Structure 1
Amino acid sequence: MAWNEPGGNSNNQDPWGNKRRGGDRKGPPDLDEAFRKLQDSLNGMFGGKKRSGGGGDSSGGDSGKGMGFGMIAVFVAVLAAIWLYSAIYVVDEQEQAVVLRFGKYYETVGPGLNIYFPPFDRKFQENVTRERAYSKQGQMLTEDENIVEVPLTVQYKITNLQDFVLNVDQPEISLQHATDSALRHVVGSTAMDQVLTEGRELMASEIRERLQRFLDTYKVGITVTQVNVQSAAAPREVQEAFDDVIRAREDEQREKNQAEAYANGVIPEARGQAQRLLEEANGYRDEVVARAQGEAQRFTKLVAEYRKAPEVTRERLYLDTMQEVFSNTSKVLVTGQKGQNNLLYLPLDKMMEKQRSGSAAAGTSASNAGQADAPASIDLGQRDLRSRETR
Structure 2
Amino acid sequence: MKTKFIVILVLIALVVVYIMTGIYQVDPSQVALVKTFGKYSYTAGPGIHLHAPYPFQSHVIVDVQTIRKQEIGFRTIRPGQYASKREEALILTGDGNIVSVEAVVQFRVSDPVKFVFNVERPEELVKFTTESALRERIAKRTVDEILTAERDKVAYEVHEMVQQLLNEYDVGVTVLNVLLQEVVPPDPVIAAFDDVNNAKQDKERYINEALRYANNLIPVVEGEARKIVLEAEAYAQQKILQATGETQRFLSILNEYKNAPKITETRLRIETLEQVLPRAKTIILLDRSQKILLMNLENLLGGGAK
Is this a same-fold pair by TM over 0.5?
yes
| Higher RCO (Cα < 8 Å, 6 or more apart) | 2
Q: TM-score, normalised by structure 2?
A: 0.69
Q: Which residue of 1 aligns with 2:27?
A: 92
Offset at 1:341? 3.7
Q: Which residue of 1 aligns with 2:152?
A: 201
Aligned equivalent of 1:135, options 65, 71, 81: 71
Cα distance change on mapping 1:327 and 1:198 into 2, 3 Å: same
Partner of 1:225, secondary structure, is strand
Query: 1: distance between equivalents of 2:277 and 2:25?
Result: 122
Q: Which residue of 2 aligns with 1:213?
A: 164
Offset at 1:99? 1.5
Greater Rg, structure 1 or structure 2?
A: 1
Aligned equivalent of 2:247, options 304, 320, 325: 325
Q: Which residue of 2 aligns with 1:114?
A: 49
Q: Deviations over 1:146-174 (max 9, x none)?
A: 11110011111111111111111110011
Is 2:57 aligned against 1:124? no
Q: Which residue of 2 aligns with 1:343?
A: 264
Structure 1: unaligned runs, 5 residues or longer: 1-47, 50-66, 284-321, 356-391
Q: Deviations over 1:298-326 (max 9, x none)?
A: xxxxxxxxxxxxxxxxxxxxxxxx99734
Q: Which residue of 1 aligns with 2:19?
A: 83
Query: 2: distance between equivalents of 1:227 and 1:256?
Result: 36
Equivalent AA in structure 1 for residue 140 of structure 2: S
Map 1:180-259 → 2, pairs under 5 A: 180-259=131-210
Equivalent AA in structure 2 for residue 327 of structure 1: R
Map 1:5-84 → 2, pairs under 5 A: 48-49=1-2, 67-68=3-4, 70-84=6-20
Offset at 1:330? 11
Q: TM-score, normalised by structure 1?
A: 0.55
Q: Which residue of 1 aligns with 2:76?
A: none
Cα distance change on mapping 1:157 and 1:343 into 2, 3 Å: same
Partner of 1:232, secondary structure, is strand
Q: Deviations over 1:108-138 (max 9, x none)?
A: 2222332222322221212211112221111
Q: How many residues get paired?
A: 249
- RMSD, aligned CA: 3.7
Structure with the larger strand share: 2
Partner of 2:108, secondary structure, is strand
Structure 2: unaligned runs, 5 residues or longer: 74-88, 234-243, 280-306
8 A contact 1:330–1:350 mirrored in 2: no
8 A contact 1:158–1:221 mirrored in 2: yes
Equivalent AA in structure 2 for residue 180 of structure 1: E
Offset at 1:255? 2.1
Query: 2: distance between equivalents of 1:190 and 1:98?
Result: 44
Partner of 2:184, secondary structure, is coil
Partner of 1:162, secondary structure, is helix
8 A contact 1:196–1:231 mirrored in 2: no
Offset at 1:91? 2.1
Equivalent AA in structure 2 for residue 245 of structure 1: V
Q: Which residue of 2 aligns with 1:61?
A: none
Cα distance change on mapping 1:333 and 1:226 into 2, 3 Å: same
Is 2:25 aligned against 1:103? no
Q: Deviations over 1:68-97 (max 9, x none)?
A: 55225313413422431x322222222222
8 A contact 1:101–1:121 mirrored in 2: yes
Offset at 1:253? 2.0
Equivalent AA in structure 2 for residue 95 of structure 1: Q
Map 1:362-377 → 2, pairs under 5 A: none
Equivalent AA in structure 2 for residue 97 of structure 1: A
